[in-house]
């Protein structure tokens, strides 16, 4: 009878222990996934929000510089000075295009993709007009300036999106951190329960052994 009771108790304890161990393993797997996801979001805040903001700022600076150089070209009569300005203008155009290339390879949401498509169309037109610019044509210069203003507007709209998406990523990061902390607390609680069950098993086993010893002494 005693061995039958011990066997049943041990089986119950073994099942409970197994369930708790499985729960710890599952929570550990989920915690690792949450931490990885959290790490990806944190990296995205820098790589896909802070860096693009820097690119957009530099593109606006380059765009403004192109207009200044075009104004100088339209007022310049010296062929030597024109050649120097054209060289600087080409370098600025290439700088802008390089920044645009970097920006479009970052993570973009739907609204950013739509604005970027419009921006690239305007940049192509701007570059084409710039390449065919004649310093004597004031109307031509006005058209280029109009495009430049539109490009700056698109860059501004893209820049306004950055903080909004950054806040969303930061909020998700905080949620992931909270859930990770919660899972960690659950693991600690389960570990305490496991310890209590093991202590209870040891105490129960000693109690049965003491009863068996007393019966033996009485006999």
pLDDT digits (tens, 9 = 90+) for 41-64: 555 555 666 788 889 999 999 999
Q: What is the domain partition of the chain in residue ranges?
A: 2-218
Q: How far is the C-alpha of 122 from the C-alpha of 105, rounded, in Å?
A: 19
- For the whole model, what pTM was predicted? 0.59
- Segment 163-183 shows an average pLDDT of 68
Confidence of residue 80 (pLDDT cuts 50, 70, 90): low
Q: How far is the C-alpha of 34 from the C-alpha of 32, rounded, in Å?
A: 5
Residue found under tokens 């009771």: 5
Residue found under tokens 């899972």: 183
How far are the Cα atoms of 27, 89, 168 from residue 40, in angstroms, in the given order? 20, 39, 14
Tokens in use for 141?
């210069």
Confidence of residue 26 (pLDDT cuts 50, 70, 90): confident
Task: Tell how far CA 139 is from the center of its chain.
Answer: 45
Tokens in use for 90?
């080409």
- Which secondary-structure segment (H or E) carries 26? helix 2-45
Quick one: fold of 2-218? 1.20.120
Q: What is the 3-state secondary structure (H, E, C) of 34-94?
A: HHHHHHHHHHHHHHHHHHHHHHHHHHHHHHHHHHHHHHHHHHCCCHHHHHHHHHHHHHHHH
pLDDT digits (tens, 9 = 90+) for 128-157: 888 777 655 677 778 888 888 899 999 988
């Amino acid at each position: 009878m005693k061995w039958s009771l011990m066997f049943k108790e041990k089986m119950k304890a073994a099942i409970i222990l197994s369930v708790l161990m499985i729960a710890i393993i599952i929570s550990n797997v989920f915690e690792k996934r949450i931490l990885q996801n959290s790490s990806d979001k944190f990296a995205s805040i820098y790589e896909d929000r802070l860096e693009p903001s820097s690119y957009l700022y530099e593109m606006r600076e380059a765009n403004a510089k192109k207009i200044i150089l075009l104004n100088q070209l339209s007022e310049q009569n010296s062929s030597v000075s024109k050649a120097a300005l054209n060289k600087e203008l080409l370098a600025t155009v290439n700088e802008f295009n390089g920044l645009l290339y970097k920006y479009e390879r970052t993570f973009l949401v739907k609204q950013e993709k739509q604005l970027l498509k419009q921006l690239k169309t305007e940049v192509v037109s701007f570059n084409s007009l710039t390449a065919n610019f004649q310093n004597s044509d004031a109307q031509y210069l006005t058209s280029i300036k109009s495009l430049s203003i539109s490009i700056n507007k698109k860059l501004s709209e893209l820049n306004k999106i950055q903080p909004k998406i950054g806040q969303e990523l930061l909020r998700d990061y905080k949620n992931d951190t909270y859930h990770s902390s919660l899972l960690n607390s659950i693991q600690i609680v389960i570990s305490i329960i496991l310890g209590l069950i093991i202590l209870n098993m040891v105490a129960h086993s000693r109690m049965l052994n003491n009863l068996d010893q007393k019966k033996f002494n009485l006999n």
